[in-house]
A and B are shown apart, each in its own frame.
Chain A
Amino acid sequence: MTSHARTPVSGSSDPTAATVLAAADVARIVDRMAHQIIENIARPTAAGGSFEAVLLGIPTRGVPLAHRLASRIAVFADVHLPVGSLDITLYRDDLRLRGVRPLGETIEPEGGVTGKTVILVDDVFYSGRSTRAALDAVADLGRPRAVQLAVLVDRGHRELPIRADYVGKNIPTSPSQRVRVSLAETDGSDSVHLVEAATTEEGEL
Chain B
Amino acid sequence: MKHLLSAGDLDRDEALAILDTATQMHAIQTREVKKLPPLRGRTIVNLFFEDSTRTRSSFEIAGKWLSADVINVSAKGSSVSKGESLRDTVLTVAAMGVDALVVRHHASGAVQQLAGWVDCHVVNAGDGTHEHPTQALLDAYTLRSRLGDLADRHVVIVGDVTHSRVARSNVLLLNTLGARVTLVAPPTLMPSGVASWPCTTSWDLDATLSGKEHGDVDAVMMLRVQRERMSGGYFPTEREYAIGYGLSPRRLDLLAEHAPVLHPGPMNRGLEISSAAADGLRSMVLDQVQAGVAVRMAVLYRLLSGAADSSTGSEVTV
List chain A positions with a Cβ less than 8 A from chain B.
87, 90-91, 95-106, 136, 140-142, 202
Contacts and interface: CB of A to CB of B under 8 A. Distances in A.
A99 B33 contact: no
B305 A95 contact: yes
Nearest to A89: B38
Given A100-B301, A100-B316, A90 B36 contact: yes
A102 B37 contact: no
A99 B21 contact: no
Contact of A102 (B21, B25, B32): B21
B24 A95 contact: no
Contacts of A102: 17, 20-21, 317-318
Contacts of B306: 95-96, 98-101
B131 to A, nearest CB: 22
Interface string B27-63: 1000111011110000000000000000000000000
B31 A140 contact: yes
A158 to B, nearest CB: 23
B96 interface: no
A100 B24 contact: no
A142 B35 CA distance: 13
B37 A99 contact: no
Contact of A106 (B1, B27, B38): B27
The 4 closest A-B pairs by CB, nearest first: A99-B316, A99-B310, A100-B306, A99-B315
B316 A98 contact: yes
Contacts of B32: 142
Contacts of A91: 36-37
B33 A140 contact: yes
A136 B37 contact: yes
B12 interface: no
25 contacts: A90-B301, A95-B306, A96-B307, A96-B308, A98-B307, A98-B310, A98-B316, A99-B315, A99-B317, A100-B1, A100-B305, A100-B306, A100-B315, A101-B306, A101-B316, A102-B21, A102-B317, A103-B20, A104-B24, A105-B24, A106-B24, A106-B27, A140-B31, A140-B35, A141-B31
A44 to B, nearest CB: 31
A95 B301 CA distance: 11
A106 B35 CA distance: 14
B302 interface: yes
B24 A97 contact: no
B31 A95 contact: no
Contacts of B37: 90-91, 136
Interface string B60-77: 000000000000000000
Contact of B24 (A99, A103, A202): A103
Nearest to B24: A103
Contacts of B307: 96-99
A136 B35 CA distance: 11
B145 to A, nearest CB: 16
**Residue of A97, A103, A104, A105 most packed against chain B (CB within 10 A):** A103
A191 B12 CA distance: 35
A102 B21 CA distance: 7
Contacts of B302: 100
A95 B38 contact: yes
Interface string B294-318: 0000000110011110100001111
Contacts of B33: 140-141
A102 B305 CA distance: 11
Nearest to A133: B37
Contacts of B316: 98-101
Contacts of A106: 24, 27
A180 to B, nearest CB: 15
B14 to A, nearest CB: 10
Nearest to B298: A103
Given A102-B20, A102-B318, 17 more contacts: A90-B36, A90-B38, A95-B305, A95-B306, A96-B305, A96-B308, A97-B307, A99-B310, A100-B1, A100-B302, A100-B310, A100-B316, A101-B306, A102-B17, A103-B24, A140-B31, A140-B35
A151 to B, nearest CB: 23
A140 B317 CA distance: 26
Nearest to B36: A90
Contacts of A142: 32
A103 B20 CA distance: 8
Nearest to B315: A99
B225 to A, nearest CB: 38
A141 B318 CA distance: 26
Contacts of A90: 36-38, 301
Contacts of B35: 140
Contacts of A96: 305-308
Contacts of B31: 140-141
